[in-house]
């Protein structure tokens, strides 16, 4: 498999007043196309920051990040926005759907920037909602859906543009066990059956075990993943 | 779909939006009414003709001029017609029934004021009857006067009961013309004065000069005043516009205050709408960050916020402008005595629209800045 994400000696620090707080230190990582990678680590270890850098939501202080061969650290803010629209699908912990738009409209949202015709957009949206098995809920507003259903709509929104990578930040963090299983199964399918590259940040060992590979971050440095015990999975 | 989102965002908090729209409507209504009051103050100035001069006593308008000046004025180069008159200052039945009433030389006066439209037969009847008078349509309606009615005015400057017969009712050529005035024969006044207070006879309050060449108004005015230089009653001649302006300028401080209040109202509503927009956007900051995450540029988000602000202020502004017309009509009915011409000018509507747009744009500035400058990672951290 070819590398889809290459991270070379990336560092990132946040300024807190006069104090510079290092979050990531000399991170180097290669993620292969079609991978389902779980990023784990304690709170404040830099998992979300690394995910944001890979997704082009934040800028690294140093180092290079290539996604699909594009050095995203050299892109301007505006080019980065356009790149994200075409290459990254986002799944958030709290779904982050727009409450005044229906499930269909929420999924259609990223396609507004694609230049597709209305008919093509409708076809894409129907396909994406079919993938998450929510065709019958397309006219429902987020408030009328359960947490699991909202997260599935969010997954449909993430995949509707057929992005290069899918990034998920604690996708099961706000879900009950049953819904979390459904969402994880869906992400497994996206990676396994459809060949999508999925990078998932999670605290949840059960979620992490669904991934085919795992990286562990501690104090901003990549480390070997600790063994996850059966009791942790429960 | 982005437009749909804009609309749904605007009405997400229905009560808040409704209150903001109402506030905006009231502000634009108040602004437009105050501007209409200002315009009404200037109505006389606006209705002034460029080919008329007014000559009065140089000391003050309350001092009169001899009737004998008439022929000397007529002899000045550039003068085509000369008429004259007196402010009569009488009222009808009770002092509260005040209106403008003038004794005028009728034939020349009506010739100089073609904007007063009188049916020919009524005009003839008025010219023939020395006790006849012509009244404006609005005034006639106010007191239910009809042609051939006898009307008694109670004099103040010229004490006594003055009896007139309504011979004509005039209409203004358009609605900028004051149709609340009362005109009667100057001769009627003068002959009565000759009998009662002879020393006040053959005196006129003002002359009205019709010009043959309006572009030479200043030179003609100077020439008229030069004729009476160093006489016992020197004159001050000015264009009708300047003459009317001299009345308006007496109230300049009040007008300035009204102008300021109208602007303050707009500034207040600007702050209110800006606060509403800031609250709405702060509540939805997470959604805007998500949109940014999905690749929507700052300009899309700026457009949506600006559009929402303009939609809310536009609805309020439109409502305010629409309400201005019935409100102005009510105002006119209530204080029509003081503002004979009280109409909502097109300029007032344009100003109302401009104020609405300015409020909409200014109210959106801070939220747009906030949304376009917030870093996505920072914004996502706040959402959770």
CATH number, residue A180? 3.40.50.300
Q: How many helices (H) and strands (E) does chain A have?
A: 8, 10
CB within 8 Å of A41: residues ≥ 6 apart = A47, A216, A217, A218
pLDDT in tens, B54-91: 999 999 888 999 999 999 999 999 999 999 999 999 99
**Using the beta-carbon criterion (under 8 Å), do A105 and B1 form an inter-chain contact?**
yes
**Using the beta-carbon criterion (under 8 Å), do A113 and B292 form an inter-chain contact?**
no
Angle between helix A47-54 and helix B376-383 axes, rounded to 10 deg? 140
Identify the CA nearest to A3 among candidates A52, A54, A48, A47: A54
Contacts of A110 in chain B (CB under 8 A): 294-295
With a cut of 90, say whether residue A129 has pLDDT above it: yes
A20 in any annotated domain: no
Considering only CB atoms, A112 lies closest to which of B2, B12, B377, namely B2
Identify the CA nearest to B357 among candidates B313, B300, B316: B313
Instruction: Note the pLDDT of residue B383.
Output: 60
Please spell the DSSP secondary structure of B135-202, one letter per residue: EEHHHHHHHT--TT-EEEEEETTTTEEEEEEEEEEEEESSTTS----EEEEHHHHHHHHHHH-GGGTT
A27 in any annotated domain: no
A86 in any annotated domain: yes
Instruction: Pinpoint the alpha helices (H) of B284-297.
Output: 285-293
Which chain B residue lies closest to A98 (C-alpha atoms)?
Answer: B287
A17 in any annotated domain: no
Q: How far is CA B342 from CA B31, B48, B54, B173, B337, in A?
A: 15, 16, 24, 15, 10
- The CA distance from A143 to the nearest CA of chain B, in Å, is 13
For residue A141, name the pLDDT band (cuts at 50, 70, 90).
very high
Instruction: Note the pLDDT of residue A233.
Output: 45
**Using the beta-carbon criterion (under 8 Å), do B383 and A96 form an inter-chain contact?**
yes
Identify the CA nearest to B91 among candidates B41, B127, B143, B130: B143
Instruction: Note the pLDDT of residue A110.
Output: 92
Q: How far apart are CA B221 and CA B211, in angstroms?
A: 10
| Half-sphere exposure of residue B287: CA atoms within 13 angstroms, side-chain side | 18
For residue A15, name the pLDDT band (cuts at 50, 70, 90).
confident
> What's the structural domain count of chain A?
1
With a cut of 60, say whether residue A232 has pLDDT above it: no
Contact residues, A window 180-199, toward B, CB-based 8 Å cutoff: none
Q: How far is CA B290 from CA A2, A84, A165, B283, B301, in A?
A: 30, 12, 17, 13, 11
Instruction: Note the pLDDT of residue A229.
Output: 52
**Using the beta-carbon criterion (under 8 Å), do A109 and B294 form an inter-chain contact?**
yes
With a cut of 50, say whether residue A173 has pLDDT above it: yes
- The CA distance from A43 to the nearest CA of chain B, in Å, is 13
Contacts of B374 in chain A (CB under 8 A): none
A43 in any annotated domain: yes
A71 in any annotated domain: no
**Using the beta-carbon criterion (under 8 Å), do B5 and A93 form an inter-chain contact?**
no
Q: B77 phi and psi, to 5 degrees?
A: -65, 135
For residue A28, name the pLDDT band (cuts at 50, 70, 90).
very high
For residue A234, name the pLDDT band (cuts at 50, 70, 90).
very low
- Among A113-127, A168-182, B24-38, name the one with the lowest average pLDDT: A168-182
**Using the beta-carbon criterion (under 8 Å), do A82 and B295 form an inter-chain contact?**
yes
**Using the beta-carbon criterion (under 8 Å), do B12 and A100 form an inter-chain contact?**
yes
Q: How far apart are CA B375 and CA A52, in angstroms?
A: 11
Q: Supply the range of the domain harboring residue A95.
A: 34-59+77-233
Q: How far apart are CA B171 and CA B104, in angstroms?
A: 18
pLDDT (average), residues A45-58: 91
Q: A216 phi and psi, to 5 degrees?
A: -120, 130
How many whole angstroms from its chain centre is CA B44? 8
Q: How far apart are CA B25 and CA A139, in angstroms?
A: 35
How many whole angstroms from its chain centre is CA A172? 12
For chain A, say whether B286 makes contact (Cβ under 8 Å): yes
Which chain A residue lies closest to B292 (C-alpha atoms)?
Answer: A81
Instruction: Note the pLDDT of residue A230.
Output: 46
Residue spans of beta strands (DSSP E) within A42-184: 62-67, 70-71, 88-91, 165-169
**Residue A81: count of CB within 10 angstroms of its CB:** 21
- Among A146-155, B151-160, B208-217, B331-340, name the one with the lowest average pLDDT: B331-340
With a cut of 70, say whether residue A21 has pLDDT above it: yes
With a cut of 90, say whether residue B252 has pLDDT above it: no
A9 in any annotated domain: no
Average pLDDT for chain B: 92
Token readout for B56 is: 């009065």
ipTM: 0.88
Q: How far apart are CA A137 and CA A125, in angstroms?
A: 12
Which chain B residue lies closest to A94 (C-alpha atoms)?
Answer: B384
Task: Please list the residues that pair with B87 across neighbouring strands.
Answer: B102
Q: How far apart are CA B298 and CA B315, in angstroms?
A: 25
Q: A200 phi and psi, to 5 degrees?
A: -125, 130
With a cut of 70, say whether residue A190 has pLDDT above it: yes
**pLDDT > 90 in chain A, percent:** 49
Please spell the DSSP secondary structure of A163-227, one letter per residue: -SEEEEESTTTTS-HHHHHHHHHHHHHHHHTT--EEEEE-S-HHHHHHSSEEEEEETTEEEPPPP
With a cut of 90, say whether residue A204 has pLDDT above it: no
With a cut of 60, say whether residue B39 has pLDDT above it: yes
Q: How far apart are CA B98 and CA B114, in angstroms?
A: 25
Contacts of B2 in chain A (CB under 8 A): 112
Q: How far apart are CA A103 and CA A212, in angstroms?
A: 30
A191 in any annotated domain: yes
For residue A77, name the pLDDT band (cuts at 50, 70, 90).
confident
């Amino acid at each position: 498999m070819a590398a889809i994400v290459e991270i070379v000696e990336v560092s990132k620090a946040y300024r807190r007043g006069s104090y510079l707080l290092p979050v990531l230190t000399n991170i180097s990582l290669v993620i292969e196309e079609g991978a389902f990678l779980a990023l784990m680590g304690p709170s404040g270890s830099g998992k979300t920051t690394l995910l944001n850098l890979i997704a082009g939501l934040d800028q690294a202080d140093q180092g290079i990040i290539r996604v699909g061969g594009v050095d995203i650290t050299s892109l301007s803010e505006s080019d980065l926005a356009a790149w994200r629209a075409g290459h990254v699908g986002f799944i958030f912990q709290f779904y982050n759907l727009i409450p005044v738009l229906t499930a269909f409209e929420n999924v259609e949202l990223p396609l507004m920037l694609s230049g597709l015709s209305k008919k093509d957009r409708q076809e894409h949206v129907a396909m994406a909602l079919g993938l998450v098995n929510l065709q019958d809920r397309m006219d429902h507003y987020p408030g009328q859906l359960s947490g699991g259903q909202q997260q599935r709509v969010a997954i449909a929104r993430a995949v509707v543009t057929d992005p290069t990578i899918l990034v998920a930040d604690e996708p099961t963090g706000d879900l009950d066990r049953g819904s979390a299983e459904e969402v994880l199964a869906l992400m497994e399918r996206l990676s396994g059956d459809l060949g999508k590259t999925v990078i998932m940040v999670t605290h949840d060992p059960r979620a992490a075990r669904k991934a085919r590979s795992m990286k562990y971050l501690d104090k901003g440095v990549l480390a070997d993943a600790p063994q996850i015990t059966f009791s942790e999975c429960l | 779909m982005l437009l749909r989102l804009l609309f749904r965002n605007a009405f997400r908090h229905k009560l808040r939006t409704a209150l903001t729209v109402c506030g905006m409507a009231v502000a634009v209504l108040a602004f437009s009414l105050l501007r209409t009051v200002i315009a009404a103050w200037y109505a006389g100035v606006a209705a002034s003709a460029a080919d008329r001069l007014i000559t009065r006593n140089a000391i003050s308008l309350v001092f009169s001029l001899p009737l004998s000046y008439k022929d000397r004025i007529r002899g000045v180069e550039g003068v085509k017609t000369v008429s004259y008159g007196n402010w009569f200052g009488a009222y009808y039945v009770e002092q509260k029934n005040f209106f403008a009433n003038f004794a005028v030389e009728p034939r020349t006066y009506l010739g100089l004021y073609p904007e007063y439209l009188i049916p020919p037969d009524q005009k003839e009847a008025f010219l023939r009857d020395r006790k006849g008078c012509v009244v404006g349509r609005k005034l006639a309606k106010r007191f239910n006067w009809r042609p051939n009615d006898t009307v008694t005015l109670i004099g103040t400057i010229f004490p006594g009961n003055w009896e007139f017969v309504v011979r004509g009712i005039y209409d203004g050529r358009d609605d900028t013309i004051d149709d609340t005035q009362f005109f009667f024969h100057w001769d009627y006044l003068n002959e009565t004065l000759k009998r009662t207070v002879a020393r006040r006879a053959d005196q006129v309050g003002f002359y009205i000069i019709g010009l043959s060449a309006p572009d030479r108004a200043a030179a003609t005015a100077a020439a008229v005043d030069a004729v009476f230089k160093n006489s016992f009653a020197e004159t001050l001649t000015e264009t009708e516009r300047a003459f009317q302006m001299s009345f308006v300028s007496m109230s300049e401080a009040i007008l300035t205050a009204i102008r300021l209040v109208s602007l303050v109202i707009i500034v207040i509503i600007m702050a209110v709408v800006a606060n509403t927009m800031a609250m709405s956007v702060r509540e939805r900051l997470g959604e805007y960050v998500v949109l940014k995450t999905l690749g929507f540029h700052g300009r899309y988000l700026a457009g949506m916020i600006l559009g929402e602000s303009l939609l809310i202020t536009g609805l309020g502004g439109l409502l305010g402008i629409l309400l201005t017309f019935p409100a102005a009509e009510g105002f006119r009915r209530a204080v029509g005595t003081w503002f004979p011409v009280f109409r909502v000018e097109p300029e007032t509507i344009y100003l109302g629209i401009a104020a609405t747009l300015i409020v909409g744009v200014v109210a959106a500035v801070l939220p747009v800045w906030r949304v376009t400058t917030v870093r996505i990672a920072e914004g996502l951290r706040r959402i959770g």
